[in-house]
Amino acid sequence: MDKKKRFRRKIEDHFYDHPIQKNILTYSWSLLVTVISSFVFAFGFRAFIAPSNMGDLQTLRLVSGGVSGLSQTVIAFVELFGRPIETHGIYDIVYSILYFGINVPVFIIAWRGIGKRFAFFTFINVLLASAFTSVLRYADENFFHVISKFIEDNGGLVTRALLGGVCTGISSAIMYKIDASAGGIDVVAYYIALKKSKLVGKYSVLINGVTITLYTLLAITDAGWGSEQAAKVFVATLFSVLYLFVTMFMIDTINLRNKKVKVEAISEMEDLGKILIGNLPHGATMVKGNGAFTGHDKFIFEMIVSSYEVNHTVQVIKEADPRAFVSVTELKHVYGRFYLPPIR
């Protein structure tokens, strides 16, 4: 364990003395995560949300929400007035163009309202997701046909909603982990969540609910109110809601930036509070007490930190006082001034 700590400190010291190398490594890692995120989303959309190669297995599409859902809604609006995008086999191409185009004004919001680095990687993610969606259209048709056949035989829309939600949730969450986003509604939801210091998932669901409602109205109108196809569209909408809740769950499970916990340490070191404040960008509260069994003087330190800071906080405490008793409690709400590092 000591060797691991020494190695970690050696690496940290090296990058502290070589900031250019650190920036290159950080940006390379962020770019790799962006590529993975965009591919996972494109694959999920192509295989689960809106498969366009099912042939005789062709079924209703799920509404993915966000800019992706808005793109689907625009296509539904065009098809409502007799423009057969689907029958011409260009659904994925039109979707990719719309997906990128609608994101353009969102980039401006991200650049001005959140951060330039955030906007840059968001732009790269959207560009790659749009490209991957088009490229996967020319992938092995038999591979996607096998996926579609297996899904139809094992749960149908339920399976597609669950797997599509997992793909979209992972895609968005890992981008949040590098202080970027998958674009579109994610940017708006993230901006609101930062201002309110709350988890981002629920804001995505609220905003996406409007998109799903609009798409459903268009699709039912196109199918004809009261028809059998309209009833199928309505049922598919319910599965789209399931898809969104799965997406929200994945995002809030992986992205812990706005999730806060209370770390409480009981120690005989009065200076532990100064050590905590010196190593973390948060304040701490100290309460004097006595051990019920030993009768010795004790000091109880409480500090509120973000979930991703817990391991570092416990490490600082244990290095200062190996005998300290530490407990960690998840918090639902925190009011008052709480420091979060700004998004670049």
pLDDT at 207 over 80: no
Most confident of 101-110, 238-247, 269-278: 269-278
Domain count, the chain: 2
Residues 221 and 300 in one domain: no
Is 32 part of a structural domain of the chain? yes
pLDDT at 220 over 90: no
pLDDT at 223 over 60: yes
* CATH code, domain carrying 308: 3.30.70.120
Lowest mean pLDDT segment, chosen from 30-34, 240-244, 327-331: 240-244
Residues 216 and 305 in one domain: no
pLDDT at 328 over 60: yes
Q: Which of 254, 283, 311 is the last residue of a domain?
A: 254
Specify the pTM. 0.73
Is 344 part of a structural domain of the chain? no
Most confident of 12-26, 75-89, 184-198, 297-311: 297-311
Is 335 part of a structural domain of the chain? no
Is 339 part of a structural domain of the chain? no
CA 289, CA 296: separation in Å to the nearest integer? 9
Residues 53 and 188 in one domain: yes
Q: What is the pLDDT of residue 318?
A: 92
pLDDT at 32 over 90: yes
pLDDT, average across residues 41-62: 68
pLDDT in tens, 278-316: 998 898 999 998 888 888 889 999 999 988 888 889 999
Residues 204 and 317 in one domain: no
Instruction: Judge whether 261 and 307 are in contact, CB under 8 Å.
Output: yes
- Total count of residues recorded for the chain: 344
Residues 11 and 42 in one domain: yes
In which domain, by residue range, is 99 found?
2-254
Is 343 part of a structural domain of the chain? no
pLDDT in tens, 2-22: 666 666 666 766 656 667 877
Residues 247 and 287 in one domain: no
pLDDT, average across residues 180-190: 76
Q: What is the pLDDT of residue 167?
A: 92
Residues 222 and 274 in one domain: no
Comparison of pLDDT for 81 and 41, the residue scoring more: 41
pLDDT in tens, 131-169: 888 788 776 667 777 787 788 788 778 888 899 889 988
Mean pLDDT of the chain, nearest integer:
80
Residues 102 and 147 in one domain: yes
Q: What is the pLDDT of residue 119?
A: 86
Q: Which of 254, 280, 306 is the last residue of a domain?
A: 254
Residues 217 and 268 in one domain: no
Residues 239 and 291 in one domain: no
Residues 164 and 32 in one domain: yes
Q: Which of 186, 220, 254 is the last residue of a domain?
A: 254
The position carrying tokens 């029958």 is: 87
